[in-house]
Amino acid sequence: MPELPEVETTVRVLRSKVLSRTFVDVWTDIKKFKKLGRKLKNKKINNIWRRGKNIIFELSGGFSFLVHQKMTGHFLYGNWDKKDRANSYIHLKLFLDNKKTLAFSDLRKFAKAEIWRTEDLKKELDLLGSDPLLKEFTFNKFKKIIKDKKGKIKQVLMNQGLIAGIGNIYSDEILWRAQVHPFSPAYKLKDKKLRKIYRHIKLVLRKAVKLKGTSVSDYRTPEGKKGRFGKMIKVYQREGRKCFRCNKKIKRTKMGSRSSYFCSYCQKI
């Protein structure tokens, strides 16, 4: 699933490509998107921004177009490598006034695409947690979020109502670097470990944004390219392989419906 770095990358690229453009037509073969055409037609894109894992196109007339890419969705602008399997599941095409097309590829068809009144959408998005890329996300704020939380630290990091944007990939990567076991009870963590987690939240997410995200599955940038953070992966999907820090084998276990990857030797509860 695209997480904060992938969504931030998409937003930054789209700002450079489609800002101030106008939607002139829409094509889709997905029933739930059929009403988008008449609502998007002749709407100008005034702004594009991110909140958590959501992409928001702020439009003329007081409306906004919200897209959550879910498991396998990603935008494609202009020409792309159609030989790449991940770019071939086009189920939504947004035609622009510059004769270009903003397409949406989504293998599993889980993506959410909705039209909102902008004022209502902003109120809805206010329910999401703190954005870890912002300066306002200080250590003291992070510590306050973690305080008294009874869940496991990985669950807390992935709780979108607390911290918006971190998912399965980056929670594993952050906790491996911080040497904290994903099953550690959040409320029991001392300041020393919390500071390490906080530091690596900032470092990992910023590095991933710089490298345009992680393409372990279907994610691609709007140019149709893979993100490069995959080369920096230390623990995610490395079950049975040697830990880069201690050479012990990486383990995988279930936390709810998700797999968690960690080193039981390096990452202590």
CB–CB of 264/251 below 8 Å? yes
Phi, psi (rounded to 5 degrees) for 23: -75, 130
Strand partners, 28: 92
Sequence length of the chain is 269
Task: Tell me whether residue 108 is one of the annotated catalytic residues.
Answer: no
- Range list of H helices, 100-238: 118-125, 139-146, 153-158, 168-178, 191-210
Q: Look at residue 108 and give its three-state secondary structure.
A: coil
Task: Given the residues 195, 202, 234, 258, select the one marked as catalytic.
Answer: 258
Task: Tell me whether residue 258 is one of the annotated catalytic residues.
Answer: yes
Strand partners, 26: 94
Task: Given the residues 2, 5, 182, 222, select the one marked as catalytic.
Answer: 2
Task: Tell me whether residue 53 is one of the annotated catalytic residues.
Answer: yes
- CA dist 101 and 92 (Å) reads 10
Name every residue whose Cβ is closer than 8 Å to that of residue 30 and which is 6 or more positions away in sequence.
Answer: 91, 92, 109
Task: Tell me whether residue 147 is one of the annotated catalytic residues.
Answer: no
Strand partners, 58: 47, 64
Task: Given the residues 51, 53, 212, 220, select the one marked as catalytic.
Answer: 53
Q: Name the one residue in this structure whose structure tokens are 């890329």.
A: 133
Q: Nearest to residue 142, comparing CAs of 168, 126, 122, 164?
A: 164
CB–CB of 35/62 below 8 Å? no
- Please list the active-site residues: 2-3, 53, 258
